[in-house]
Amino acid sequence: MVSTSGWTVPQWRQYHAAATPAESLATLVALVAREQVAPSDPAWISLASPEELAHQFRVLCARPAAALLPLYGVPVAVKDNIDARGFATTAACPSFAYTPTEDSAVVARLRAAGAIIVGKTNMDQFATGLVGTRSPYGRTPCAFSAEHVSGGSSAGSGVVVARGTVPLALGTDTAGSGRVPAMLNNVIGLKPSLGVFSCAGVVPACKSLDCVSVFSLTVGDAQAAMSVLAHAETDPRDPYARVMPRAPLREFAPNRKLVVAVPTALEFYGEAHNPRLFHAAVETLQGMTDAEVVYRDIAPLLELAKCLYDGPWVAERWTATRAFLATNPPAADLDPTVLGIVKSGEPITATAAFEGEYKRRTILRRVEALLANVDVLVVPTAPLNPTMAAVAAEPVAVNSRQGTYTNFCNLADMAAVAVPSGFRPDGLPFGITFVGAKFTDYALLDVAQKFLAAHLPERLLGATQQRVGSGDVLDRTLPEPDMDACIELAVVGAHLSGLPLNWQLRQCQAVLRRATTTSACYRLYALPQNGPVAKPGLRRVTEDGAEIAVEVYAMPRVHFGDFLAMVPEPLAIGSCELADGTWVKGFVCEESGYASGATDITSFGGWRAYQQHKRAAKPF
């Protein structure tokens, strides 16, 4: 029997690539066979039967080139408020359960990418909670201690990833449900920008603020899931769906330091270990040469956070559940704390709803000022690692404290990535969250990767014995550029990868597509150097031409102007014929540039080769 514990997406893909379909399926069946549902294991509410797994795998294998799919055969767990055909949806309330006739939008996208849904996970009922104890299916402990909560509401999803059972799990996140369990289980929690994952087929908590989230062992796997789940077209079934911009930010300002804001004052409610771990993380950020730490008073964000439960949005929870509650479900099916919160939404007036929205927008004006000239904000993911007993003693108060650094995020329309940040002396994990403006999701993953590389380069994944290896490294070709929104640009000189001006391409969010050569109709000149960076000039000729090495980038059209503004004379952006006879936009040179004082370097075949030759010729 293969041990799959702690496998990341690339490890699963590597395994399936070498296995027969029968072996692959057997491994998935064996994985599920080792698991048990609540009450034996409160992390799972339901698991796929062997037949269900076989059915999914058969459907997958029937697709053309299935093995090339980015999540081919990768087992995924799904929070039980997200519809997946073949499983009941309970939202952790037995009498609420229904059998969906179709997949939620996110599950459909996962399956289309090759994933196998292995089971549905336990949660705080109706996604109302940050603890993981508010469920008639049982209280889910964290992966490190039976006495400590998993966090919630996406309790089981965080835990089954941390245990290494699955590399990816879906959660949802309205108040922090996709982040708090990430910290308490030492995994990655990606809370995307609102709307970029469709919520069609998800049981609403606060419909205007809900989003689906991703738990993973590594940053790389979170990126893979992000690029599968973000949709390029509006989903007509989700009125809050928004498309991810066609040219999303991939990296914050590559030509200057990343500006990371740290709160001037932090509240840990008397906890002693976590502040130290947070400060250690900040020290790492301060030590990163490509980052600058600044301090900001986040009072407006903390004020916004309070609006989530003290303001009118709790009425959305009542709106979402009142029809069900009117059926008088058995009391045993309802978590009393959740019921109390939901019912508190009933008497709220429309005036309070509108005034709450006015207040939110007024606070957001101060948030804008607070975050001016800041790329990302870093906060503790949660202040505490609560025990089951502490939550039982003060179910609302402890929960409320846990949302201190998460509740504001969706109200402020921000994206967030929660990452591990080391262990306390008691063996429990701590975590921090990077928060950015909407649609900075990919850039936040880039920050997360850079931080983890500096802070925990050898970290253990979740609660497994697997080390991260290259798991946090991002795939620089993701997300696949939308070529309708891009222009292909051939670069020939200092913009080539690794050369001094390549940052200009990254700043303009360009992605390398291929290295090739021009057609044999060009000559290349080293131009007289009149600045810090030496540059070549490409000349189209009718005879004595040669193929010159180029790299072709896809650059978003909207950023092309910014790029062009950085191109000095005698260089220009014109058209360039490639070896395969196609034409792309490319660097060309005015005749005046090479007419005198330039060196014909055509024989080197390209600028990089010429540069290497020059370096070799001048060893000192």
How many alpha carbons fall within 13 Å on the CB side of residue 475? 18
Q: How distant, in Å, are the alpha carbons of 35, 83, 155, 405 from that of 398?
A: 30, 30, 16, 13
Q: Select from 18-26, 97-105, 252-260, 565-573 the region that touches a copy of itself (CB under 8 A).
A: 565-573
Any contact of residue 324 with a copy of itself (CB under 8 A)?
no
Name which position in 353, 392, 473, 609 contacts a copy of itself (CB under 8 A): 353
Q: Is the bond preceding 136 in cis, omega lying within 30 degrees of 0?
A: no
The correct pick among 325, 559, 605, 609 for binding a copy of itself (CB under 8 A) is 559
Question: In the chain, what is the greatest distance between 2 CA atoms, to the nearest angstrom?
Answer: 90
Please identify which residue in 112, 560, 605, 609 interacts with a copy of itself, judged by CB under 8 A. Answer: 560
Q: If residue 229 lies in a helix (H) or strand (E), which one and from where to where?
A: helix 219-229
The Cα–Cα gap between 581 and 535 comes to: 25
Task: Write out the binding residues for a copy of itself, residues 171-210 only, by CB under 8 A.
Answer: 207-208
DSSP β-bridge partners for residue 571: 589
For residue 180, give both structure tokens: 């708090």
CA–CA gap between residue 219 and residue 4 (Å, rounded)? 19
Site for a copy of itself in 223-242 (CB under 8 A): 234, 236, 239-240
| DSSP code string of 484-547 | GGEEEEEE-STTSTTSTTHHHHHHTT-EEEEEEEB-S-EEEEEPPP-SSS--EEEEE-SSS-B-
Residue from 67, 280, 512, 572 in contact with a copy of itself (CB under 8 A) = 572
Taking the CA atoms of 272, 275, 278 and 283 in sequence, report the sign of the dihedral they define: negative
Q: Which tokens hold the place of 283? A: 């020290």
Query: Of the two residues 78 and 342, which places its CB atom closer to a copy of itself in the complex?
Result: 342
The tally of CA atoms less than 13 A away on the side-chain side of residue 224 is: 27
Select 140 or 509, whichever has its Cβ closest to a copy of itself.
509
Provide the b/e sequence for 119-135 (b: ≥16 CB within 10 Å): bbbbbbbbbbbbbbbbb
Q: What's the first-to-final CA gap in the chain, in angstroms?
A: 58
Tell me if 32 sits within 8 A of 132, measured CB to CB: no
303 in contact with a copy of itself (CB under 8 A)? no
**Residue 507 and residue 516: Cα distance in Å, rounded?**
23
Chain positions 52 to 81 lying near a copy of itself, rule: CB under 8 A, are none
Span interacting with a copy of itself, options 302-310, 316-324, 425-433, 435-443, rule CB under 8 A: 316-324
Contact between 501 and a copy of itself by CB under 8 A: the answer reads: no
Please name the amino acid found at residue 468.
Answer: V
Residue 248 binds a copy of itself (CB under 8 A): no
| Nearest to a copy of itself of 86, 481 (CB atom) | 481
As measured in angstroms, the least distance from the Cβ of 350 to a copy of itself is 4
556 binds a copy of itself (CB under 8 A): yes
Which of the ranges 30-38, 134-142, 151-159, 344-352 carries the binding residues for a copy of itself, by CB under 8 A? 344-352
Q: Which tokens is 114 given?
A: 């090759």
> Smallest distance from the beta carbon of 413 to a copy of itself, in angstroms?
14
* Exposure of 388 in the CB half-sphere (CA atoms within 13 A): 13
Which residue of 63, 322, 343, 438 would you call a contact of a copy of itself, by CB under 8 A? 322
Please tell me what DSSP assigns to residue 603: G
Contact range with a copy of itself by CB under 8 A, out of 81-89, 140-148, 181-189, 559-567: 559-567
Residue 512 β-bridge partners = 553
Where in 115-154 is the site for a copy of itself (CB under 8 A)? Answer: none
Nearest-angstrom CA–CA distance, 516 and 514: 6
SS3 357: helix
If binding is defined by CB under 8 A, does position 39 make contact with a copy of itself? no
Q: Is 567 in the site for a copy of itself (CB under 8 A)?
A: yes
Run of H or E including 79: strand 75-79
Q: How far is the CB of 556 from a copy of itself (least distance, A)?
A: 7
Binding mask 368-387 for a copy of itself (x = CB under 8 A): xx------------------
555 binding a copy of itself? (CB under 8 A): yes
State the Cα–Cα distance between residues 170 and 180, nearest whole angstrom. 14
Q: Which of 351, 372, 470, 532 binds a copy of itself (CB under 8 A)?
A: 351
Picking from 431, 461, 499, 429, the residue whose alpha carbon sits closest to that of residue 5 is 461
Q: Count the residues in the chain.
A: 620
Do β-strands 486-491 and 599-600 pair in parallel, antiparallel, or remain unpaired? unpaired
- Please tell me whether residue 413 binds a copy of itself under the rule CB under 8 A: no
If binding is defined by CB under 8 A, does position 566 make contact with a copy of itself?
no
- Which range touches a copy of itself (CB under 8 A), out of 52-60, 140-148, 345-353, 602-610? 345-353
Q: Using CB under 8 A, which of 1, 531, 596, 618 touches a copy of itself?
A: 596
Q: Does 257 bind a copy of itself (CB under 8 A)?
A: no
CA distance 69 to 63: 10
463 C-beta neighbours (distance < 10 Å), count: 21
Which is nearer to a copy of itself, 240 or 503 (by Cβ)?
240
Stretch that binds a copy of itself, among 105-113, 224-232, 348-356, 412-420 (CB under 8 A): 348-356
Instruction: Rule CB under 8 A: say whether 583 interacts with a copy of itself.
Output: yes
Per-residue interface string for the shown chain with a copy of itself, residues 459-488, x marking contact by CB under 8 A: ----------------------------x-
Is residue 581 a contact point for a copy of itself (CB under 8 A)? Answer: no
One residue of 350, 372, 616, 617 binding a copy of itself per CB under 8 A: 350
Site string for a copy of itself, 518-537 (x = CB under 8 A): --------------------
Neighbours of 293 (CB within 10 A): 18
Q: Which helix (H) or strand (E) holds 406?
A: none
Please, which residue, 189 or 586, has the CB nearer to a copy of itself? Answer: 586
- The least CB distance from residue 237 to a copy of itself, in Å, is 8
Size of the site for a copy of itself (CB under 8 A): 63
Binding interface with a copy of itself (CB under 8 A)? 207-208, 234, 236, 239-240, 312, 315-316, 318-319, 322, 345-346, 348-355, 357-358, 361-362, 364-365, 368-369, 487, 539-542, 555-562, 564-565, 567-575, 583, 585, 588-592, 595-596
